[in-house]
Chain A
């Protein structure tokens, strides 16, 4: 690795945590999966057992058509975040390919060949698609380029060093030239170099330019992009499943007499997750499912409501009410080993509550499976193919690598399509196994199934006591977090699930505070929870940034000036935050909102990327309205500035939707929001105008898919604080 590309300490740290945690889960999954954990054998080798993936002469990531057109094989899912174009640009840059002729294909499932190098399994998450592929895909492009150079040198009878490549054509100063297409048969015979030299980023001609635009916009503007929902196979059946009304419920008995009378219904049977209806088409499956009468055994079901849980979480975090029974884990402590909080000139006692959130991607969960008769195949937008393979293999009794996955576009996910249980995939596999004979089964979840199906961002509570000194700087920060672990149920061998406190943990604000006591506890609740775009930052960014505005106010300081002082004091740990803040403050500019609007600021680092926003907010009929949002981002080298901007725009909208309206509420264990009428999301008339400014950087790229999401909520809360003098203690802003 070139030393000039090394990341600053602030960026490297969270990435390291991620590696430890998520690699561990794969190893653990093997143990639980019944496979022997073989010492000295890489997990990816075990997980890919049974796979048979052909690899061409240019390796697993690049193919050439006879006309010289380049196909880049994307090992990550494309679900809007732009992994397609980012990975293709890395290859095309080093290959000096004609960008207009570069195409993208989805990799098959094979953990050994297509693993995400930061997690040790094939999968997409943690905003790692670009970061983990940075060396791998550039090297693949550079190696292919070297093969063409060698073929051309032989053909022309000239030294390789005299050849140049531009737009898929190799030229020699003598005037000789040949295209990739002409050289293809010879280049394919060259042995690929293992460590070809990579370009100095200063020499990039494609990466970082506005030419790096999406390659799927035409397919996605004509209705021809293929999603799981769109799969049609000969003789295919469509399935829907009746699920229990409360999490943890089981089928006691069912009456399918009416369901079987629905024209088109083929069969009705019990599966572990409920009662499945298979039919000739979706409408028949839906009508059949709705005609079922199911008696549920709810003896083990979760029957608490959101209010019950909040009451419990508050008493858990309250030092006056805690009986000492909770299992607290320290996530930040200064001085190490503990101490006594110094006297504070002023202090604030704060609590924050965050509701369950559904991901609610536009494409509800679904899957196509073919099991039996020599077939073992999923056709699905799969966020963690390795886990989906493993769970499928356990159900049917096969080697994980032998589970073929045809990867499709997914209509959003925001984390929902990545879970350790592969819930809807496993459900589809059970149904297809029952149907048997390799007959294709498409499982369709209605919106109501998707929204009430769990795997939510966990309900989370924070309690803080923050003291400031005479100079206004924080002197003590006592912080308790009560939540559910999104890693529960995953076979992680030991260690704390830091994903629930990432963003508070490692914050530059805590680095400059002499006394810090940050602790986390998890509560057992029978509601399945999961990462939701930006994971812990969905609440920690709010808590840290809204708290800082409140203590700045207590200290009588301007929120931007106050942050500048904290970041400056934090030194290297605050340097990127400071640069991002300054860029946003300059572009807004801070202190000069448009007439009638009030500005709010927030800065947060997640997944190695720092995002700062200055939002203009006003109250419109008592509801916050967000106008212009100036966004600054440091994500290292910008591969596609346009798509980074798109992720900031989209992340801001998703974050704002959750901040304004997002709430899944349980009453007596039953989810109250069943569709978009009850679970309000952002619409056109409420969408902010996001301007994105990218900090110029030659550091290795970090992610852009998630870090744009968590910043808008505290920016809005801080604007409301300035406007009304009132702090926000719970989300969403707008009561249902």
Chain B
């Protein structure tokens, strides 16, 4: 069944069942592989994308529910987003696998809260697991991109 989606500003049509999670359509059908599979149950945040500006777990978003929704993935940032620049400046990534999801959560945070404090960062980022333990650099990079002083 052809299902229309709007991904990174482009209208696309995918041939998949309505219950297919957006994650697998992005990765397998559209080869937008920046969005990662980590747990499949919305516990790790590796698959975070923006649905109408909200950070959401694409593993839990069946494509049949996304008609008219603007979907943005890590690829939409183009590598030039201030958050991405801060990530590179602070050498945040280690293995790097979770970082697309971390970045999408951080971008959504700054869009809503341009000058986040530590509690804002905890609340926005707690759904994103990093097993390498890059959390303190993530925190520093978010503050740097936001122009708020590090405690």
Whole-angstrom distance from the CB of B88 to the nearest CB of chain A? 4
Residues of A near B32 (CB, < 8 A) are: 223
CA distance A62 to B5 in the complex (A): 46
Whether B129 lies near A281 (C-beta < 8 A) is no
Question: Cβ of A651 < 8 Å from any Cβ of B?
Answer: yes
Whole-angstrom distance from the CB of A160 to the nearest CB of chain B? 38
Identity of the chain B residue whose Cβ is nearest the Cβ of A676 in the assembled complex: B43
Whether B41 lies near A283 (C-beta < 8 A) is no
Q: Report how many residues on chain A are interfacial, defined by Cβ distance under 8 Å.
A: 62
CB neighbors of B among A228-270 (8 A): 229-230, 232, 238, 263
Whole-angstrom distance from the CB of A379 to the nearest CB of chain B? 14
Whether A222 lies near B79 (C-beta < 8 A) is yes
Whether B96 lies near A684 (C-beta < 8 A) is no
Q: Mark A80-92, 1 if CB is under 8 A from B, else 0.
A: 1110000000000
Whether B77 lies near A229 (C-beta < 8 A) is no
Whether A222 lies near B43 (C-beta < 8 A) is no
Q: Name which of A217, A219, A689 has the most chain B CB atoms within 10 A of its CB.
A: A217
CB neighbors of A among B11-36 (8 A): 16-17, 20-21, 24, 27-29, 31-36
Residues of A near B127 (CB, < 8 A) are: 683
Whether B97 lies near A221 (C-beta < 8 A) is no
Question: Cβ of B137 < 8 Å from any Cβ of A?
Answer: yes
Question: Cβ of B39 < 8 Å from any Cβ of A?
Answer: yes
Whole-angstrom distance from the CB of A689 to the nearest CB of chain B? 6
| Stretch touching chain B among A12-20, A193-201, A405-413, A608-616 | A405-413
Identity of the chain A residue whose Cβ is nearest the Cβ of B35 in the assembled complex: A223
Q: Name which of A79, A221, A360 has the most chain B CB atoms within 10 A of its CB.
A: A221
Chain A facing B: main interface SS: loop
Q: Name which of B74, B103, B133 has the most chain A CB atoms within 10 A of its CB.
A: B133
**Residue of A81, A657, A677 touching B43 (CB-CB under 8 A):** A677
Identity of the chain B residue whose Cβ is nearest the Cβ of A366 in the assembled complex: B37
Whether A675 lies near B39 (C-beta < 8 A) is yes
Q: Quick one: given A362-B129, A653-B135, A685-B126, are A411 and B36 in contact (CB under 8 Å)?
A: yes
Whether A229 lies near B36 (C-beta < 8 A) is yes
Q: Mark A673-684, 1 if CB is under 8 A from B, else 0.
A: 001110001111
Residues of B near A675 (CB, < 8 A) are: 39-41, 43
Identity of the chain B residue whose Cβ is nearest the Cβ of A689 in the assembled complex: B136
Whole-angstrom distance from the CB of A414 to the nearest CB of chain B? 7
CA distance A238 to B28 in the complex (A): 10
Question: Cβ of B52 < 8 Å from any Cβ of A?
Answer: no
CA distance A499 to B122 in the complex (A): 38
Whether A283 lies near B28 (C-beta < 8 A) is yes
Q: Report how many residues on chain B are interfacial, defined by Cβ distance under 8 Å.
A: 58
CB neighbors of A among B101-139 (8 A): 103, 121-122, 125-139
CA distance A653 to B38 in the complex (A): 19
Residues of A near B94 (CB, < 8 A) are: 80-82, 412, 646, 650
Whether A687 lies near B136 (C-beta < 8 A) is yes
Whole-angstrom distance from the CB of A16 to the nearest CB of chain B? 29
**Residue of B41, B95, B122 touching A361 (CB-CB under 8 A):** B95
Whether A362 lies near B33 (C-beta < 8 A) is no
Whole-angstrom distance from the CB of B42 to the nearest CB of chain A? 9
Identity of the chain B residue whose Cβ is nearest the Cβ of A648 in the assembled complex: B133
Question: Cβ of B71 < 8 Å from any Cβ of A?
Answer: no
Q: Quick one: given A223-B35, A362-B38, are A681 and B28 in contact (CB under 8 Å)?
A: no
Identity of the chain A residue whose Cβ is nearest the Cβ of B84 in the assembled complex: A221
CA distance A690 to B126 in the complex (A): 19
Whether A362 lies near B41 (C-beta < 8 A) is no
**Residue of A82, A409, A649, A685 touching B136 (CB-CB under 8 A):** A649
Q: Quick one: given A79-B95, A409-B95, A676-B39, are A684 and B126 in contact (CB under 8 Å)?
A: yes
Whole-angstrom distance from the CB of A125 to the nearest CB of chain B? 16
Q: Mark A113-151, 1 if CB is under 8 A from B, else 0.
A: 000000000000000000000000000000000000000
Whether B131 lies near A360 (C-beta < 8 A) is yes
**Residue of B34, B46, B95, B137 touching A222 (CB-CB under 8 A):** B34
**Residue of B33, B44, B88 touching A221 (CB-CB under 8 A):** B88
**Residue of A221, A283, A677, A681 touching B99 (CB-CB under 8 A):** A221
Q: Quick one: given A229-B33, A676-B129, A684-B128, are A219 and B96 in contact (CB under 8 Å)?
A: yes
Whether A676 lies near B44 (C-beta < 8 A) is yes
Whole-angstrom distance from the CB of B150 to the nearest CB of chain A? 10
Q: Quick one: given A283-B28, A412-B97, are A646 and B137 in contact (CB under 8 Å)?
A: yes
Question: Cβ of A227 < 8 Å from any Cβ of B?
Answer: yes
CA distance A677 to B127 in the complex (A): 11
A/B interface sample: 13 pairs, CB < 8 A: A80-B93, A214-B93, A229-B27, A283-B24, A363-B36, A446-B40, A447-B39, A646-B134, A649-B136, A675-B40, A681-B129, A684-B126, A684-B135
Which 8 pairs of residues, A with B, have the shortest CB-CB distance?
A223-B34, A653-B133, A411-B97, A220-B96, A80-B94, A80-B95, A687-B135, A220-B93
Q: Which residues of chain B have a CB within 8 Å of any CB of chain A?
A: 16-17, 20-21, 24, 27-29, 31-41, 43-44, 46, 73-75, 77, 79, 84, 87-88, 91-100, 103, 121-122, 125-139
Given contacts A80-B94, A684-B135, 14 further A-B contacts (CB under 8 A): A81-B94, A213-B91, A218-B79, A219-B96, A222-B79, A223-B100, A232-B33, A283-B21, A362-B98, A411-B96, A412-B97, A676-B43, A681-B131, A683-B125
